[in-house]
């Protein structure tokens, strides 16, 4: 059995608990200023039957790791240096440094004012059936505007139809 040092030191600023076992160990420092510091060479664990509460006033909670995973039975949030993945059931959002990917059975986008979609190159909309509807006006504008149907293509106006 290796030599283990246990130090309980009541200092001027607070209490220091230091437990060392050769190259391993942990320390907890309780300072009278209101600061608590934990250091461990292996892991720091917190367990509770109901909940663990952390309230930080006038600041933020900061966790610095290579990868962070928060998970429940049906959902998870994973953060690493390259991307963020949010999953709920079979739906997911993946964000990386150059793209955002949304996957789900249904994706709804709704705004009370305006929705703007802009790309410097191409916008592709692909599906079994696609509909673009407007209550007042629908404009298709460009250097070349093509309406093409492999079976039928039609342009209808209830009052007038102009081509030319």
Q: Look at residue 92 in the predicted model and tell me its pLDDT.
A: 97
Is 57 inside a domain boundary? no
- Other C-beta atoms within 10 Å of 22: how many? 9
Q: Is residue 155 part of a domain?
A: no
21, part of any domain: yes
Query: pTM for the complete prediction?
Result: 0.58
Rounded mean pLDDT, 14-26? 77
For 6, the enclosing helix (H) or strand (E) is strand 4-10
Asked if residue 90 is part of any domain, the answer here is yes
The C-alpha atoms of residue 141 and residue 149 are separated, in whole angstroms, by 18
The answer on pLDDT for 134 being more than 80 is yes
**Angstrom distance (rounded) from CA 141 to CA 144:** 8
Query: Does some domain include residue 113?
Result: no
Average pLDDT of the chain, as a whole number: 84
- Other beta carbons within 10 Å of 156: 5
Q: Specify if 23 maps to a domain.
A: yes
CA distance 98 to 160: 46
Domain extent, residue 39, equals 1-43
Q: Is the pLDDT of residue 3 over 50?
A: yes
Same domain as 68, residue 39: no
- Within a domain: 149: no
Q: Which of 89, 105, 121 is the last residue of a domain?
A: 105
Local structure of residue 61 (DSSP, 8 states):
-
Q: Which of 105, 135, 156 is the last residue of a domain?
A: 105
Q: How many domains does the chain have?
A: 2
> 38-91, pLDDT tens digit by residue?
888 888 888 888 887 877 777 777 788 889 999 999 999 999 999 999 999 999
Sign of CA dihedral 96, 97, 98, 100: positive
């Amino acid at each position: 059995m290796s030599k283990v040092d246990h130090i309980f030191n009541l200092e001027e600023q607070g209490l220091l608990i230091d437990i060392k076992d050769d190259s391993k160990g942990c320390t907890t420092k309780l300072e009278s200023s209101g600061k608590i510091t934990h250091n461990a060479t292996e892991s720091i664990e917190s367990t509770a039957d109901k909940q663990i509460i952390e309230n930080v006033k006038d600041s933020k909670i900061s966790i610095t790791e290579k990868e962070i995973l928060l998970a429940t039975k049906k959902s998870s949030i994973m953060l690493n240096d390259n991307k963020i993945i949010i999953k709920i059931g079979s739906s997911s959002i993946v964000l990386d440094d150059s793209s955002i990917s949304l996957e789900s059975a249904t994706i709804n986008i709704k705004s009370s004012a305006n929705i703007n979609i802009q790309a410097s190159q191409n916008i592709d909309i692909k599906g079994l059936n696609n509909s673009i509807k407007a209550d007042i006006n629908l404009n298709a504008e460009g250097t070349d505007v093509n309406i093409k149907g492999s079976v039928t293509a039609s342009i209808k106006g209830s009052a007038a139809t102009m081509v030319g």
